[in-house]
Structure 1
Amino acid sequence: MILHEEETFSRERMEKLQLERLKATANTVYEKVSFYRKQWDDAGISPQDITNLDDIKRLPFTTKGDLRGQYPFGLFAVDKSEVVRIHASSGTSGKPTVVGYTHNDIKMWGSLVARAISMAGGKQGEVLHNAYGYGLFTGGLGLHYGSEQLGMATVPVSGGNTDRQISLIQDFKPSVICGTPSYILTIAERMEQMGIIPSGNSLKFGIFGAEPWSEEMRGLLEKKLGIKACDIYGLSEVLGPGVSMECCEAQRGLHVAEDHFYVEVIDPATLQPLPDGEEGELVFTSLTKEALPIIRYRTGDIASLSRDRCACGRTTTRMSRIKGRIDDMLIVRGVNVYPSEIEHVLLGSNDIVPHYQLHVKRTGALDTVELHIEIKEAIFGELGQNIEHEQIQFLSGEIQYRLKNQLLISIDVKVCPPKTIPRSEGKAVRIVDHRKFSMTNT
């Protein structure tokens, strides 16, 4: 269902609105955020230089490093007395990135997530099961407020305690489930272990995100749970979930909330804009945020844009599914590859489960990558639980051949016994980097 008229604006009308809001945002950050004022002064740019949308390309980028450098509140454009909520990243690779919200920001965020849930099939009066984590991570509260604003009965179960999740799904009969695709798959697998048919439930739609996932994973989740699975995108630095959303009618790209965000794709090496259809790094500029407006934020996420009309009737620009993150890209013997591309190959096998990890190690001066995959329990039992069985070794060779044939990478493959690769209650850990540990011990 189309919830807001802005979703069907003509291109001319949308760009007029974007320019008005961009000018207002530019004036705000220049006047109230010393970081932007200095950055723009150094570049010889002022808000008055923005006369059309193309002028945004003259503005400097903002990076995660800039947010960390201004920790904690250096990028806020309002007095702290106006901030009603603060979220932050985990800070595992340095200072966390801190984001703030005014009352109006929270209201706008809830409205956009309500739009997103509606786009994915959610309806007023139905029940939404929210398995995203609550806390400093924006996922749980973002979906929660949007669901309530749409008028759905929201179950704030958060992540973990999988058996209880299943019990609540059976008892409360939700029509929508939200979470990371890897954790929702864990829920479906646990149902099977308990003798429950996952597809025999009340669920109709799934809203999944916070990690890259392939079309093969979508197909697997839809088949297991009997749902339509749609992708949601957002990141705390820009807002949180709801920046863009896939519609259940077409499932062909995520509709960007262009009335609130201006989106670009750039070449991450040259930093030059790329045309529609070409993959590059997503860059977002907020147009309506009060507490933490952000200008040309380099997300690190790889995707492309398209502006053709969608079958659902919406006219907003669509971004492709996220292929991966720049910092997750691996170079395997000279070939660039993302974990989601490897997932695409793995899910073509009927003998393994869709849980995997890439272990990166350093041998001398060279980096090596080993792919760990997990064999299905039924097959493992048939082979006498012998991991050295020749059939398992054949499977390893078959996966190696597919990776070489489809992705042009040569990689060592280790077949692991069932249930030995860690399951996630949030974002799946796909890359295990042993180099960091090695360097601390040299």
Structure 2
Amino acid sequence: MIWNETKECMSRDEIVTLQGARLRKMVDRVYHNVEFYRKKMQQMGIEPGDIRGIEDLSKLPYTTKDDLRDNYPFGLFAVPESEVVRIHASSGTTGKATVVGYTRRDIEIWQECVARVLAMANVGKNDKIQVSYGYGLFTGGLGVHYGAENLGATVVPMSTGNSKKQITMMQDFGVTAIACTPSYLLHIAETLEEANALDKIKLRAAICGAEPWTDNMRREIERKLNIKAYDIYGLSEIMGPGVASDCDYHCGLHVFEDHFVPEIINPETLQPVEAGETGELVFTTVTKEALPLIRYRTKDLTSITYDKCECGRTLARISRFKGRSDDMLIIRGVNVFPSQIEAALLEIGETSPHYLMIVDRINNLDNLEVWVEVEERFFSDEIKQLEGLTKKIAHVLQNAIGLAVKVKLVEPKTIERSEGKAKRVIDKRKLV
């Protein structure tokens, strides 16, 4: 099912023409309304009139997550605060969150994009969709919620956690679609299996995202629940969920190019790569009003194709992600950097600067265990003191990253030293 055939099935020439017109308008607006971009463009000797079309995109400066943090909270907004109707935020490597804002028009576009995603998953106005992404500053819950209402579907705003209640509502309300992380959906599938309730639900579609997953995991979800599962991609800086999604053919995620212009660059040289080559995904938002971003570096590694899909859509497609060009981990939808762990441990003062993060997928849920080296004296003290320090560290880390962490205290020199860059992460999840 195609929600907006006019925009999702344009010819390549029509897409490029539309992108060019919107890019020119956006660049002119940020030049005059965002001091950060005006200074960047002036330093490069660029004026809005130099940008005539999408072919001039490479003349413009890149934007990074650090730029958002450096302009915290509202320094990159292109509209007066009185026009911002909603604010979301995500955690980062420091104490400062990455803040994003939306005008009323931005929200309408977001609703439109998510409606397209749901239509790709063959969800319509006669469906009941259980939104089991987190609500709040995280964009997932409210993003899918408003898109589903725009589509005309009935929304069950469950948010995350409480699996037994999730299953009860799924059965009692006759839920036909669910939106959540893929690992959590596998957990729900196992809970249903244990309760002998798989034949008591009407679920037929799942829209999964917010964490990396594989085609094998998709097939496992489909087999266990006898449904169709779809991959949704987004990031709060660009909009939230609904920047791209896959269709029934699962041959890449369709990017909604009328709103987000994708590029693939070499993360070392910052030069564009050829279509089909793997590189870092970069987005320019050409319709965002509150927080328009020019050439935002996502750090996600992928490739792109512009071939028409069998589903009829002509939108560019990005492949499943092959990793990242930085050290960020995505655990249960939460962005986690080793530097966050390090900063939190240094604040405690009773630990050494040596630590190891071990990420694993246990019972289809991502888990983070942090090994922390402590002084020898703690192992000769009472067990009670060791337990107390473990709880203290776990509490500090949870506050720092917003995620429950299992802490294991280890003796000095337990964690392997490296002559080069310290190895801080062991990711045991099979993501490729």
| Cα separation, partners in 2 of 1:122 and 1:369, compared to 1, 3 Å | same
- Tell me how far 1:58 sits from its aligned partner: 1.2
- Corresponding residue SS for 1:140: helix
Letter in 2 for 1:319: I
Counterpart of 1:395? Answer: none
**SS at the partner of 2:270?**
coil
4+ residue segments displaced more than 4 Å: 364-376, 427-435
User: Gaps (5+ residues) in structure 2?
Assistant: 332-340, 343-351, 365-401, 418-432
Match of 2:127 in 1: 126
CA-CA distance at 1:373 after TM superposition:
6.9
Which segment is superposed worse, 319-328 or 169-178?
319-328
- Cα deviations across residues 200-255 of structure 1 (Å, max 9, x unaligned)? 5211111000111011111111111111111001101001111111112x111111
CA distance in 2, matches of 1:272, 1:315: 25
- Mark the CA change 1:374 to 1:79 in structure 2 (over 3 Å): closer, same or farther: closer
Are the equivalent residues in 2 in contact too, given 1:231–1:321 (CA < 8 A)? no
Shift of 1:176: 1.1
Structure 2 matches for 1:418-433, cutoff 5 A? none
Shift of residue 93, structure 1, vs aligned partner: 3.5
Q: Is the 8 A contact 1:200 1:225 kept in 2?
A: no
Q: Letter of the aligned partner of 1:312 in structure 2?
A: C
Cα deviation for residue 370 of structure 1 reads 6.7
Is the alpha carbon distance of 1:265 and 1:227 closer, same or farther for their aligned partners in structure 2, counting shifts above 3 Å? same
Which residue is equivalent to 1:409? Answer: none
Q: For residue 89 of structure 1, what is the aligned residue in structure 2?
A: 90
Mapped contact 2:23–2:53 kept (Cα < 8 A):
no
Partners of 2:407 and 2:130 in 1: how far apart? Answer: 31
CA distance in 2, matches of 1:59, 1:162: 47
Deviation at 1:2, TM superposition (A): 1.1
Change (3 A) 1:122 1:81: same
Query: After alignment, is 123-132 or 21-30 more displaced?
Result: 123-132
User: In the superposition, relative to structure 1, how do residues 369 and 106 fare at CA in structure 2: closer, same or farther (>3 Å)?
Assistant: closer
1:148 pairs with 2:146: no
Cα distance in 2 for residues equivalent to 1:135 and 1:243? 19
Matched, 1:239 2:208: no
Query: In the alignment, is the contact (CA less than 8 A) between 2:262 and 2:281 conserved in 1?
Result: yes
Q: Quote the residue 1:157 is aligned against.
A: 158
In structure 2, give the amino acid aligned to 1:166.
I
Contact 2:24 2:53 in 1 (8 A): no
Cross-structure match for 2:305: 306
2:188 is matched by which residue type in structure 1?
Answer: I
Amino acid at match of 1:147: A
* Alignment partners' CA distance in 1, 2:288 and 2:299: 21
Deviation string for 1:343-383 (max 9, x for gaps)? xxxxxxxxxxxxxxxxx99xx9999887767599xxxxxxx
Tell me the distance in 2 between the aligned counterparts of 1:433 and 1:264. 42
2:282 is matched with which residue?
283
Superposed counterparts of 1:405-420, under 5 Å = none
2: CA distance, partners of 1:166 / 1:195: 11
User: 1:428 and 1:309, CA in 2 relative to 1: closer, same or farther beyond 3 A?
Assistant: farther
Q: Does 1:173 align with 2:179?
A: no
* Distance of 1:282 and 1:108 partners within structure 2: 21
Quote the residue 1:192 is aligned against.
193
TM-aligned CA deviation for residue 329 of structure 1: 7.6
**Alpha-carbon offset, residue 299 of structure 1:** 0.5
| CA apart distance, 1:116 | 1.0
TM-score, structure 1 normalization: 0.75
Work out whether residues 279 and 303 of structure 1, in 8 Å CA contact, stay in contact via their aligned partners in 2.
yes
Alpha carbons 1:182, 1:428 under 8 Å: kept: no
Q: Secondary structure of the equivalent of 1:327?
A: coil
Contact 1:203–1:227 at 8 Å: present in 2 too?
A: yes
Q: TM-score, normalised by structure 2?
A: 0.77
Deviation at 1:323? 2.3
Could you say which residue in structure 1 is the equivalent of 2:206?
Answer: 206
CA gap of 1:112–1:133, structure 2 versus 1, over 3 A, is same
Write the letter of the residue equivalent to 2:7. E
Contact 1:210 1:233 in 2 (8 A): yes
Q: 1:329 to 1:153 in 2, by over 3 A?
A: closer
C-alpha RMSD over aligned residues:
3.0
Distance 1:122 1:298 in 2: 32
Match of 1:72 in 2: 73
Q: Whole-Å Cα distance in 2 between the matches of residues 370 and 244 of structure 1?
A: 30
State the number of aligned residues.
357
Distance 2:231 2:224 in 1: 17
Contact 1:212 1:323 (C-alpha < 8 Å) held by counterparts: no
Give the counterpart letter for 1:265 in structure 2: I
Does the Cα contact within 8 Å between 1:144 and 1:154 map onto a contact in 2?
yes
Percent identity of paired positions between Structure 1 and Structure 2: 51
1:260-271 to structure 2, matched below 5 A, reads 260-271=259-270
Alignment match, 2:420: none
One-letter amino acid of the counterpart of residue 229, structure 1? A
Residue 388 of structure 1: aligned partner: none
The 1:26–1:374 alpha-carbon spacing in structure 2 relative to 1, beyond 3 Å, is closer
Q: What stretches of structure 1 of length at least 5 have no aligned partner?
A: 331-337, 340-359, 377-426
Residue-by-residue CA offset, 1:254-305 (whole Å, 9 max, x unaligned): 1110011110011111111111111111100001011110100000111110
**Partner Cα distance (1:283, 1:327) in 2:** 14
CA distance in 2, matches of 1:71, 1:373: 34
